[in-house]
Structure 1
Amino acid sequence: MNKSNKIRIIISIIAISFIQGLQFSISPVLGQIRESYPGVSVSMVQMLITAPALCSMVVALASGVLVMKTSKKKLLLFAGFVAGITGFIPFLSDSFSLLFFSRACYGIALGLACTLNTAVVAEFFQGDERVSVMGIQSASIGAGMVFITTLGGVLGAIDFRAAYFLHIIGFLSLAVIAFCLPDTGKTGSPGGKGVRLNGKVLRISLLGMVVFLFLITYTTNISMHLEGKIAGDSTVAGLLTGTFSGAQIVMGLILGSVVKITGKYTLPAAMMLFSAGGILLILYPENIAMLMAGGALCGFSQGMFVPRAMCEVSDAVAPAAAAMAAACFTCFMCFGQTISPFVLNTVSGLIFQTVTTGHVYLIAVSAMAVAAAVVFIWKSIWESEKTTEMKGA
């Protein structure tokens, strides 16, 4: 494949990533949405960010089978259309239920984009080049989030409903995919072989669920975490979410170099970055500079964890099963996001007898640190034993 074709495919990957970034289009205005619908619980408002993940779980699993029925390109074109149209559904009526419905439907686009973006990378790139392009994918998701959340915060200063217009990005992505992504047809699997998953895919997928149970708390809580003079400021909330995304961009661009340093410990290192960032959020809820530093560390964490985990699951299976492996990881990751508000708010209530963003961050930071230690030990002992066995064989 020549350089020109590779560039066009990478541009397509960036367009798909922007569809994924729309999950956080209303993150900066969650506080305003909560005020506009006072009868709705905090957890339900936060679910506007995580509800798409619930729907995308089903779609992600289905996409692993759908790629054997139709082409990735056609599925991604449909994802772009759905991402675009769901941004305009809430304008039909001033109803939280309709808003929630539109966000859930957006999950169809999210599930297809998350799964097939990885499958596209796995199809066209191999080895170290795959790691680098996966980093570009992560960086472009971050770039989309920076643009979307920052502009969402600005639009939210006018009216929170103005943030819905950002879903025009779905239609723009559709046009880019139509022009740049080759249509390679449906995925072949001779004799039904090559679509089998394995234990490693399941282990990493379970880890993804645990990590995103905690990592998503940055986005779902940050706009309501602000105190002092910056309390309730959607522009500041957009800036902080943009900082998170900007850090993800930087990490995505340097991921290849970072992985060479961290090696098999990339995943636990990424998890510890979140814990470090979360500590700053807890200690300095009124200080914009420290909040930005905390957001940057959390962004580095996601920018490191997701592409590396996606690489590991796609490398663990045959090429024909890459979409299914990515679907499995996406499903578990989305499940963790979906249940996060209810689980952590409930745990906060049980431990502290009250639910505050500070308490939620404390629980997430502590649990993530423990999980990182477990993964570090697993990588040190279990994988080392496996390597020794393979050398002995």
Structure 2
Amino acid sequence: MNQTKKIKIIISIIAISFIQGLQFSISPVLGQIKEHYPQVSVSMIQMLVTTPALFSVVVALASGLLVTKISKKKLLLFACFIAGITGFIPFLSDSFPLLFLSRTCYGIALGLACTLNTAVVAEFFKGDERISVMGIQAASIGAGMVIITTLAGMLGVFGFKASYFIHVIAFFCFAAIALSLPDTGRISTSGGEAVRLNGNVLKISLLGMVVFIFLITYATNISMHLEGKMAGDPTVAGLLTGVFSGAQIVMGLILGNVVKKTGTYTLPAAMLLFCTGGVLLILFPGNIGMLMVGGALCGFSQGMFVPRAMCEVSDAVAPAAAAMAAACFTSFVCFGQTISPFVLNAVAKLVFQTVTTGHVYLIAVTGMVVAASAVIISKSM
């Protein structure tokens, strides 16, 4: 494959990653939405970020089989269209149920993008080059989140509904994929053998679910965690979400070298980065500098964990089953994101009798330490 074709494919991967980044388009204005809909519970407000993951579980699993019927390029173009349209549905009525429905439907785009982004990388890149491109993928997701959340936070100054306009990015992604991604047709299979998964895929997927129950708390809580003069400021919340995303960019660009240093312990190392960042969030809710450091560490964690885990699941199966393996991992991760607000808020209520963002972060950090320790022990045996 020549260099020009590689560059075009990478452009397509970046465009797909921006579709994934739209999951967090509403994160900087969650505080404003809560004020606008005071009758709605905090958990339901937080689910505006995580509810796309719920529907994407089904879509991701389906996409593993859909690629044997429809080409990845056509499925991705459909995902871009859905991501764009669902961003403007809430303008039809000032209704929380309609907003919630639009975010749920965006899950179709999220499920397709998460699964097929990895499948595209697995199809066109091998070996160390695959790890490097997976890093670029993670970096582009981070870049998408930086641009999307920062602009959404700035638009939020004019009211939370203004942030919906950020979904116009999806139509630019549509054009980029249409022009840059080769259409290799549907995946051909030889009986059922080609799409068979294995125990390693299941183990990594289960770990991904556990990790994202804790990791997603950064995005779902940060806008409501601010204290002092920053409280309720969507611009600051957007900045902090942007720092998180920016850290993913940096980690994605250096991922190949990081993996060489951490080896088989890359995943638990990523998990412990979140723990360190989470401690800073707990201790300094009114200090913008420390919050930015904490957000960066959490971003490094996600930028390190996801692409490495995706590489492991795609390497664990035959090439034709890479999309299904990615779908399995994506489904478990999305399920973890979906249940996170309910699980952690319930645990916080049980342990502390009240639910605050500080309590949620403390539970998330504690749970992640336990999970990372278990992974380290299992790899040492």
After superposition, the C-alpha distances for 1:105-144 in whole angstroms (9 at most, x for unaligned) are 0000000000000000000000000000000000000000
Letter in 2 for 1:201: V
Give, in whole Å, the separation in 1 of the partners of 2:158 and 2:64. Answer: 41
Superposed displacement of residue 188, structure 1: 1.0
Instruction: Provide the residue aligned with 1:298 in structure 2.
Output: 298
Report which stretch shifted further, 227-236 or 113-122.
227-236
Superposed displacement of residue 11, structure 1: 0.2
Alignment of 1:60-209 (within 5 A): 60-209=60-209
Instruction: Provide the residue aligned with 2:352 in structure 1.
Output: 352
Give, in whole Å, the separation in 1 of the partners of 2:341 and 2:367. Answer: 15
Give, in whole Å, the separation in 1 of the partners of 2:160 and 2:191. Answer: 52
Superposed displacement of residue 192, structure 1: 2.6
Instruction: Provide the residue aligned with 1:282 in structure 2.
Output: 282
Instruction: Provide the residue aligned with 1:308 in structure 2.
Output: 308
Secondary structure at the aligned position of 1:244 is classed as helix
Secondary structure at the aligned position of 2:158 is classed as coil
Give, in whole Å, the separation in 2 of the partners of 1:119 and 1:311. Answer: 10
Superposed displacement of residue 229, structure 1: 1.0
Instruction: Provide the residue aligned with 1:257 in structure 2.
Output: 257
After superposition, the C-alpha distances for 1:20-78 in whole angstroms (9 at most, x for unaligned) are 00000010000000000010000000000000000000000000000000100000000
Letter in 1 for 2:162: A
After superposition, the C-alpha distances for 1:123-174 in whole angstroms (9 at most, x for unaligned) are 0000000000000000000000000000111000111101000111111101
TM-score, with normalisation over the residues of structure 1? 0.97
Alignment of 1:204-243 (within 5 A): 204-243=204-243
Instruction: Provide the residue aligned with 1:388 in structure 2.
Output: none
Aligned structure 1 segments of 4 or more residues deviating by more than 3 angstroms: none
* Percent identity (aligned): 79
Letter in 2 for 1:152: A
Secondary structure at the aligned position of 1:56 is classed as helix
Instruction: Provide the residue aligned with 2:271 in structure 1.
Output: 271
Letter in 2 for 1:256: G
TM-score, with normalisation over the residues of structure 2? 1.00
- Work out whether 1:41 is the aligned partner of 2:61: no
Letter in 1 for 2:134: M
Letter in 1 for 2:349: G
Superposed displacement of residue 225, structure 1: 0.2
Give, in whole Å, the separation in 2 of the partners of 1:114 and 1:200. Answer: 19
Letter in 2 for 1:252: G
In the comparison of the two structures, how many residue pairs are matched? 381
Gaps of 5+ in 2: none
Secondary structure at the aligned position of 1:186 is classed as coil
Give, in whole Å, the separation in 2 of the partners of 1:65 and 1:347. Answer: 37
Letter in 1 for 2:30: L
Give, in whole Å, the separation in 1 of the partners of 2:238 and 2:165. Answer: 16
Instruction: Provide the residue aligned with 1:391 in structure 2.
Output: none
After superposition, the C-alpha distances for 1:284-317 in whole angstroms (9 at most, x for unaligned) are 0000000000000000000000000000000000
Letter in 2 for 1:55: F
Letter in 2 for 1:364: A
Secondary structure at the aligned position of 2:195 is classed as coil
Instruction: Provide the residue aligned with 1:248 in structure 2.
Output: 248
- Work out whether 1:327 is the aligned partner of 2:322: no
Give, in whole Å, the separation in 1 of the partners of 2:380 and 2:331. Answer: 27
Give, in whole Å, the separation in 1 of the partners of 2:162 and 2:132. Answer: 36
